[in-house]
């Protein structure tokens, strides 16, 4: 420890002649600690919420989705599916045919997407794990089945028991006929299907999709050999590599999107909210640093007698300023460490015991999730040091210490 830090530490912990100076010092330290802890807690909660939403969305979305740049559908001739399936880092892919239709059960009806996929589509993202009623069965013994979104099942009053009284009727405009007001039901394709299961992804998809066999969707929508998208599952960590390969092969004809790009707006909104809160709390920390500026000025006046001794021993303005700057930075660092410890402790308790809950009501999770990122901790340390250093440096630089001492 050099002489500046040693003297600054003694000043910091030594008894002051006026209690108000102790009080101001404690308030400066407490302000930094509270702002630091609040930053860590809020950012960790945002990380937890973002991770929860991303997990829920990714339980439905594929690793990569390919959509034609022109037109609503593309034919199987436009893409070599077998070649894609044989790629080293591709685990599974499925053609998808999807469009909006009207679903009816008894006197209830819902407008939702038909999503036709391969029978083993559960391999895409383990969708069978989010089926809470019934099972993920699309084709069994030549019988077509549907897996229905939870919100759609609730609005239609059905379940995933596989019973005939849950029969759904689905209507879609016949593409070969011209729709007229007088055409009535004859201008619609109508099919019936029984739900085998109900899935809950806890996203908007629960109110948007009914998953059916690809052949059933082709028959209903009137597309013999056309698809709306191709969905691909990749080996962990290889999504960007596969996406790069696909862009080289089909980038001129298809939009090739990874999981983030499929929900880009959602992720951008969440990130902007997180950093907006970060900026607001940083501003509060900036206000707290003004206490340090006042404390530094008062402390300089408090230590007049000690300054005389240092001056007599050969100290100059530069040395005295360094002593007071070190004391201010000690307060900053101690406040920062206390804030980090309190923030980490709170996050641990929140994770273990769910101290802050969502309150009364039906929610997907009972308490706010937390997830601590090292990047956030580093950013907090940097912003605290960057904001408090000028608050310490400016008073020490501007105040002429020796001029205020009666020699």
Q: How many CA atoms lie within 13 A of 40 on its CB side?
A: 28
Q: Supply the pLDDT for residue 10.
A: 58
> What band does 278 get if pLDDT is binned at 50, 70 and 90?
confident
Task: Write the burial class of residue 259 (CB in 10 Å: 0-12 exposed, 13-18 middle, 19+ buried).
Answer: middle
Answer whether residue 316 shows pLDDT above 70: no
Percent of the chain with pLDDT over 90: 46
Q: Which pLDDT score is estimated for 233?
A: 95
The confidence band for 381, taking pLDDT boundaries of 50, 70 and 90, is: very high
Predicted model pTM: 0.71
What pLDDT score was predicted for residue 134? 92
Query: How high is the pLDDT of residue 65?
Result: 96
Q: Residue 249 has what pLDDT? A: 94
Sign of the Cα torsion 288, 290, 294, 297 reads positive
List the chain domain ranges: 3-57+266-404, 64-262
DSSP β-ladder status, 188-199 and 143-149: parallel
- For residue 264, the model assigns a pLDDT of 81
Give the pLDDT score at 306: 65
Reported as type and span, the H/E element at residue 219 is helix 214-221
Asked if residue 302 has pLDDT above 80, the reply is no
At 126 the pLDDT is: 76
Q: Which of 261-265, 326-330, 334-338, 396-400 has the lowest mean pLDDT?
A: 396-400
DSSP 151-178: HHHHHHT--SS--GGG-EEEEEE-TTS-
Q: What is the pLDDT of residues 119-178, one digit of tens each?
A: 999 889 878 788 989 999 999 888 999 999 999 999 999 998 888 888 999 999 987 766
pLDDT at 271: 80
pLDDT bucket at 402, cuts 50 / 70 / 90: very low
Confidence of residue 401 (pLDDT cuts 50, 70, 90): very low
Distance CA 78, CA 65 (A): 15
Question: Is 296's pLDDT higher than 80?
Answer: no
The residue-averaged pLDDT of 35-56 equals 87
Query: Alpha-carbon distance 218 to 118, whole Å?
Result: 12
Q: What is the DSSP letter of 262?
A: H
With CA atoms as reference, report the closest residue to 388 among 398, 400, 377, 396.
Answer: 396
Give the CA distances from residue 258 to residues 89, 118, 241, 335, in Å, rounded to whole numbers and listed in that order: 14, 20, 11, 42
Answer whether residue 62 shows pLDDT above 50: yes
Residues 250, 77: contact at Cβ < 8 Å?
Answer: no
At residue 342, the pLDDT reads 96
Average pLDDT over residues 95-111: 95
């Amino acid at each position: 420890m050099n002489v500046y830090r040693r003297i600054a530490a003694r000043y910091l912990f030594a008894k002051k002649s006026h209690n108000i100076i102790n009080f101001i010092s404690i308030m400066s330290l407490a302000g930094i600690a509270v702002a630091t802890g609040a930053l860590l807690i809020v950012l960790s909660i945002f990380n937890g919420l973002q991770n929860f939403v991303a997990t829920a969305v990714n339980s439905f979305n594929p690793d990569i989705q390919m959509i034609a740049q022109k037109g609503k559908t593309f034919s199987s001739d436009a893409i070599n599916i077998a070649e894609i399936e044989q790629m080293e880092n591709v685990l599974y892919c499925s053609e998808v045919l999807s469009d909006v239709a009207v679903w009816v059960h008894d006197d209830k009806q819902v407008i939702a997407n038909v999503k036709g996929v391969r029978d083993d589509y559960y391999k895409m993202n383990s969708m069978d794990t989010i089926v809470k009623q019934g099972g993920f069965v699309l084709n069994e013994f030549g019988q077509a089945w549907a897996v229905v979104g939870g919100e759609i099942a609730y609005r239609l009053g059905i379940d995933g028991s596989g019973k005939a009284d849950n029969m759904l009727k689905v209507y879609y405009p016949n593409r070969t006929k011209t729709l007229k007001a007088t055409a009535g039901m004859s201008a619609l394709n109508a099919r019936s299907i029984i739900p085998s299961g109900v899935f809950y992804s806890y996203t908007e998809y629960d109110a948007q999709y009914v998953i059916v066999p690809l052949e059933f969707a082709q028959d209903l929508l009137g597309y013999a050999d056309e698809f709306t998208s191709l969905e691909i599952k990749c080996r962990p960590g290889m999504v960007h590599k596969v996406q790069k390969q696909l862009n080289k092969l089909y980038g001129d004809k298809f939009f090739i999107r990874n999981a983030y790009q499929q929900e880009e707006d959602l992720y951008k909104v969440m990130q902007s909210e997180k950093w907006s809160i970060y900026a607001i709390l940083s501003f509060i920390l900036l206000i707290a640093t003004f206490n340090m500026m006042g404390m530094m000025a008062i402390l300089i006046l408090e230590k007049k007698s000690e300054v005389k001794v240092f001056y007599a021993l050969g100290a100059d303005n530069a040395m005295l300023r360094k002593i007071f700057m070190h004391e201010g930075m000690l307060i900053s660092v101690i406040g920062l460490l206390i804030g980090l410890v309190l923030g980490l402790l709170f996050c641990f308790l929140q994770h273990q015991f769910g101290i802050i809950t969502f309150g009364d009501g039906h929610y997907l999770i009972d308490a706010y999730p937390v997830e601590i990122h090292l990047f956030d901790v580093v950013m907090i340390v940097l912003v605290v040091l960057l904001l408090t250093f000028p608050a310490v440096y400016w008073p020490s630089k501007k105040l002429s210490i020796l001029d205020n001492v009666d020699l």
